[in-house]
Amino acid sequence: MRPDVTRLKPFLDAVYDRFHTEESLACDPLSFPRQYRDPIDREAAAVIASAFAFGRVAAFMPVIDKVLSRLGESPGQALAEGNRALFREVADGVIYRFATPPNVEALLSGTAALLRRDGSLEPSVMSGFAAGGTVNGLLSLADALRSSGDGDPGFLVPVGNPDSPMKRLCMLLRWMVRRDGIDLGIWKGLRPSDLLFPLDVHVFRISGLLGLGPAGQNNAPRMKDAIALTRQLAELDQEDPVRYDFALSHLGISGTCRGSAGPNCADCPLVTVCGARVACD
């Protein structure tokens, strides 16, 4: 039986009101591109910040800060005008989980090559999107980043598996396409309705607790799950189906939700519609 998504709207709106805020932004990788004014700097910072956005927020924020600080006041310009020696210098000693300095160097050189060639990464998305929709646009961007740089960016850029939810690239697209007090809205080729939900394991679990997918989902999400969740949430807002992404992410980032019943459930806006509520009571 199809879940009645519309009954969730007031509860999701309450999550949005609480977490879709400047305060949440302070502990989100999106805070890095927002520090710049020029669109090319915002875009360069967004690519770097989203690439490192895996694992614990507190662990990856200083890494992003280190890379961007080394690129100076104008990371977009620094990349576009930079050479291999600069990328090596910036990447020197940057190790974060699966990412090594050569991976960082490859990410920087790939981004730089696309900025030099097209002035933006948007054309790489749009060429794939025009040929086959949003998933194809994401694959096209991943391929362009991987094939344009020197070396292998490793885990920093997805390998282009259409089964993968490509969470960080979906999030980058959200930042670049949606426009509000949070997202940047620099790219104009896609509409917010073209976006796919950036689905990680935490949001996947919460969506399952809300009946927006299989219950008790402990597996890693796949692209088909991101598409299914996006379609369900499009029933609430066809023009902006990923509207709740930032807020739902911060339900987890803030420590309010750990994906199962816990002491914070009583204060959670979703408690009356969450599958964990029996255990919470």
Nearest approach in angstroms of CB 7 to ligand SF4 is 15
Which of residues 35, 268, 278, 281 is near ligand SF4 by CB under 6 A? 268
Q: How far is the CB of 171 from ligand SF4 (least distance, A)?
A: 20
148 vs 75: CA distance, rounded Å: 18
Closer to ligand SF4 at the Cβ: 177 or 206?
A: 206
Stretch that binds ligand SF4, among 107-115, 149-157, 228-236, 265-273 (CB under 6 A): 265-273
261 binds ligand SF4 (CB under 6 A): yes
Collapsing DSSP to helix, strand or coil, 267 comes out as: helix
The CA distance from 106 to 86, in Å, is 12
Residue 201 interacting with ligand SF4 (CB under 6 A): no
264 binds ligand SF4 (CB under 6 A): yes
- Is 209 a binder of ligand SF4 (CB under 6 A)? yes
Cβ-proximal residues to 231 (8 Å cutoff; 6+ apart), any chain: 241
Using CB under 6 A as the binding rule, whether residue 91 contacts ligand SF4 is answered as no
Instruction: Tell me if 5 contacts ligand SF4 by CB under 6 A.
Output: no
DSSP string across 189-212: SS-GGG------HHHHHHHHHTTS
Place of tokens 């890095």: 32
Structure tokens at 269: 């806006």
Tokens standing for residue 252: 């987890």
What does the alpha-carbon distance between residue 35 and residue 33 come to, in Å, rounded to a whole number?
5
Minimum separation from the CB atom of position 60 to ligand SF4 (A): 23
The least distance separating ligand SF4 from the CB of residue 124, rounded to whole angstroms, comes to 36
Site residues (CB under 6 A) for ligand SF4, limited to 240-259:
256-257
174 and 183 Cβ atoms separated by less than 8 Å: yes
Binding residues for ligand SF4, rule CB under 6 A, total 15
| Cα first-last separation, the chain | 26
Residue 8 or 104: which CB sits closer to ligand SF4?
Answer: 8
In this chain, which of 38, 270, 278, 281 binds ligand SF4, going by CB under 6 A? 270
Contact (Cβ atoms closer than 8 angstroms) between residue 127 and residue 136: no
Tell me if 280 contacts ligand SF4 by CB under 6 A.
Answer: yes
Q: Which is nearer to ligand SF4, 26 or 278 (CB)?
A: 278
* Angstrom distance (rounded) from CA 251 to CA 267: 11
C-beta closer to ligand SF4: residue 15 or 78: 15
Which residue of 173, 184, 199, 206 would you call a contact of ligand SF4, by CB under 6 A? 206
Helix 57-71 vs helix 84-91: crossing angle, to nearest 10: 140
Binding region for ligand SF4 (CB under 6 A): 206, 209, 256-257, 260-261, 264-265, 268, 270-271, 274, 276-277, 280
